[in-house]
A and B are shown apart, each in its own frame.
Chain A
């Protein structure tokens, strides 16, 4: 045998009083973990706030079948709609498939190509994300959820069990995240915004609200306001002014909207052919975020052509007084206390649109005009 070192059948174990060591490690570990849990519960973290992973999304995707009502879009659909309030209003609990910060078109494609789905799709249209954001991120997220191994599916179930009982199970409390959040100066030339910090709390079925800290902590809220301005207008954005880059419409907007609408129209037609329907929704935004969206994606060049090309009905908050006047602490997402009332109003409008899309009342029901 050439490797004589391999001829052994026991590994050396250091001489120690291992029973006592293990007992001490166990006791200290219990103390540390309990202390860690208490610490985070005192910092606005709660048990039952789940990570929004591809695995959790996939669990909901499997429920989106038959006559289900499915919500797709990005963070406003995700955080501003109260699934319980929707259920109270319509009798149906919708399936939440919106993905924060992502283009929802691949999700719409998938539902359109799913022969088992004949339900109602309510699709948020936040202009930049809907028309410009790369679809690759959404596709990768969906693929990750679909391609889980049996072990990963089991691990997800176990993780959700722990998350239902422990507050500190949260990506925001990881050691590496805490290190990333240390307020060190940003290097010259580095992207000034690293990533979006925790902004939501989510239940197991992805029913999600804005995180309470944004509503109660002015400094944390201001961080998000700066973030949205940065994403909207680049590093020169300030809280006071709209950056010059947003003074005009998105370059090539007509072509961009035309291409997207053509593809979306095919999806809408496929879903309708099976007896389902699609309703587009423009959620409320306010302050500089609203102004930048309105300038870079003027309604006449984005929202109207989409509805015209797809023949779908749309609910735009600008048209309906009952969708206006809600509190949007960081200009983009709704205060948790306002979401039930907003959801009731939205669900009523959407139901009317879906029910009456072929009737003469459609125009007044959906456009508010």
Chain B
């Protein structure tokens, strides 16, 4: 189920109503759990089974680890969790990719191997909920947390619908304790939650889908070489689209949870105002970058060993982070480039300015968005003004819209780089809040929204 759909509006109204009925807390949690399964099943009912398996495995694994003092045995049990979760992820997300690359490797040594056509469907959100489940088992294994006593709380932690399909990737230590005692949003939380939902949906439906996505699609679908104005407009539009799409989802998710009385962590902190790449990754997809830091980079040794090992750990983390986004070498290169930027920054001990950081991030997004290296190179050549007989694929309407939206986005990020939305809203006069909220809500209604999926649903 998409947040930006009429189905979700009806679903959320029902869940909110149920959650505010005078029912026992245990029943309310059961309602939320059932609603979360319904939310997921509305996309594809059979894949709920994967959620159940992932939940059951990590529930048992954490209990066994906690009850086992022997370090070797604990490691073996943890491996079971990793095997199950990464096995699902490997099969559904990377199965075809692995087989295709195996076939290429075989061909390179003269063996003509044709991989079977598995036609695997990627279960939506699998990259997110498997990471959450792994975090639970890892926390217990690393003595960072005790296993929870109630299965219902753990199942709800894995499945809670606001974060289920595209994050934020929530830590067990943040969310599970919130299920222990009755929670219901007070009036301010409920209304502020609705306000955040409006903001998030405005970013997604109006800015990302309505104005920016068609420009990006036109540039990337062009069968001809395009001019540098079109190429740069397309690249900048994607910088805006990916931010508004994903930050819009995260803001909506946080708003939905808050309206029900739960707190989720921030996932974005005005990333295009970042000065340098370390700063960028502290502001972009924060829940993933901190997950990778805590469950991959640190266990690999982090920066606790020799300098060279630190660089290697950094590159491994970013390469795998790139691969997490999709089963394609273009994502690996995107991650690798960011790893290289971080390594250079660490080596030189200087950070780039905000504008340089934004431009480099924008150019690097080309590998993220392009379907192939050939397409990425074509666009980069066009951006460099090296294309031959270039075609104009965009109209002045597109170019002006992208300039205005991306310009406003950068100005907002810069203005907000050292503050928080809550602080600015608290300081703003009431009429200004009313005006902005009304205009965003009206734009949402007027744009109508075609119900396009969020980009990160595919990851």
Tell me the residues in window 172-206 of chain B with beta carbons closer than 8 Å to chain A beta carbons. Answer: 173-174, 177-178, 187-189, 191-192, 194, 206
Residues of A within 8 A of B395 (CB): 180, 184, 186-187, 190, 194
Given the known interface contacts A2-B144, A8-B263, A36-B446, the answer about A151 and B7 at a Cβ–Cβ threshold of 8 Å is yes
Does A33 contact B442, Cβ atoms closer than 8 Å? yes
Does A18 contact B188, Cβ atoms closer than 8 Å? yes
| Most chain A beta-carbon contacts within 10 A, residue among B173, B420, B445 | B445
Asked if A17 lies at the interface with its beta carbon under 8 angstroms from chain B, I say yes
Q: B253: shortest Cβ distance to chain A, in Å?
A: 12
Tell me the residues in window 202-219 of chain B with beta carbons closer than 8 Å to chain A beta carbons. Answer: 206, 210-211, 214
Tell me the residues in window 128-151 of chain B with beta carbons closer than 8 Å to chain A beta carbons. Answer: 139, 144-145
Which of A169, A182, A187 lies in contact with B392, CB distance below 8 A? A187
Residues of B within 8 A of A151 (CB): 1-2, 5, 7-8, 42-43
Does B187 contact A19, Cβ atoms closer than 8 Å? yes
Residues of B within 8 A of A158 (CB): 6-7, 10
Q: How far, in whole Å, are A189 and B387 apart by their CA atoms in the complex?
A: 15
Q: How far, in whole Å, are A3 and B438 apart by their CA atoms in the complex?
A: 37
Does A15 contact B426, Cβ atoms closer than 8 Å? yes
Residues of B within 8 A of A369 (CB): none
Q: How far, in whole Å, are A162 and B390 apart by their CA atoms in the complex?
A: 44
Q: B350: shortest Cβ distance to chain A, in Å?
A: 26
Segment among B22-30, B153-161, B315-323, B429-437 that sits at the interface with chain A: B429-437
Tell me the residues in window 1-56 of chain A with beta carbons closer than 8 Å to chain B beta carbons. Answer: 1-3, 5-22, 24-25, 28-29, 32-33, 36
Q: B125: shortest Cβ distance to chain A, in Å?
A: 13
Closest to A20 in B: B430
Asked if B258 lies at the interface with its beta carbon under 8 angstroms from chain A, I say yes
Given the known interface contacts A17-B430, A174-B448, A175-B206, the answer about A187 and B394 at a Cβ–Cβ threshold of 8 Å is yes
Does B433 contact A176, Cβ atoms closer than 8 Å? no
Asked if B118 lies at the interface with its beta carbon under 8 angstroms from chain A, I say no
B407-447 interface bits toward A, Cβ cutoff 8 Å, 1 = contact, 0 = none: 00000000000001011011000100110011001110111
Asked if B396 lies at the interface with its beta carbon under 8 angstroms from chain A, I say yes
Closest to A188 in B: B392
Tell me the residues in window 147-172 of chain A with beta carbons closer than 8 Å to chain B beta carbons. Answer: 149-152, 154-155, 158-159, 162, 168-169, 171
Does B446 contact A189, Cβ atoms closer than 8 Å? no
Assign chain B's interface to a size class: 35 or more
Does A6 contact B446, Cβ atoms closer than 8 Å? no
Asked if B388 lies at the interface with its beta carbon under 8 angstroms from chain A, I say no
Closest to A162 in B: B6
Residues of B within 8 A of A186 (CB): 395-396
Tell me the residues in window 182-216 of chain A with beta carbons closer than 8 Å to chain B beta carbons. Answer: 182, 184-191, 194
Residues of A within 8 A of B1 (CB): 151
Does A184 contact B397, Cβ atoms closer than 8 Å? yes
Residues of A within 8 A of B360 (CB): none
Does B6 contact A149, Cβ atoms closer than 8 Å? no
Assign chain A's interface to a size class: 35 or more
Q: B211: shortest Cβ distance to chain A, in Å?
A: 5
Residues of A within 8 A of B189 (CB): 11, 13
Asked if B265 lies at the interface with its beta carbon under 8 angstroms from chain A, I say yes
Which of B8, B45, B438, B451 lies in contact with A32, CB distance below 8 A? B438
Q: How far, in whole Å, are A24 and B431 apart by their CA atoms in the complex?
A: 9
| Most chain A beta-carbon contacts within 10 A, residue among B206, B390, B397, B425 | B397
Given the known interface contacts A3-B171, A8-B263, the answer about A16 and B7 at a Cβ–Cβ threshold of 8 Å is no
Asked if B294 lies at the interface with its beta carbon under 8 angstroms from chain A, I say yes
Q: B290: shortest Cβ distance to chain A, in Å?
A: 5
Residues of B within 8 A of A175 (CB): 206, 210, 443, 446-447
Q: List 11 A-B contacts (CB under 8 A).
A: A2-B294, A9-B177, A13-B258, A16-B430, A19-B191, A25-B437, A151-B7, A151-B8, A179-B401, A187-B395, A190-B392
Ranked nearest first, the 4 interchain pairs of A and B with the lowest CB-CB distance are A151-B42, A14-B426, A176-B210, A158-B6
Interface residues of B (CB under 8 A from A): 1-2, 5-8, 10, 41-45, 139, 144-145, 171, 173-174, 177-178, 187-189, 191-192, 194, 206, 210-211, 214, 254, 258, 263-265, 290, 293-294, 298, 390-398, 400-401, 420, 422-423, 425-426, 430, 433-434, 437-438, 441-443, 445-448, 451
* Other A-B pairs, 19, CB within 8 Å; known A19-B187, A22-B194, A154-B42: A1-B144, A1-B145, A6-B290, A8-B263, A9-B178, A13-B188, A15-B426, A16-B430, A25-B441, A29-B441, A155-B5, A155-B451, A158-B6, A158-B10, A173-B446, A174-B448, A176-B211, A190-B393, A190-B395
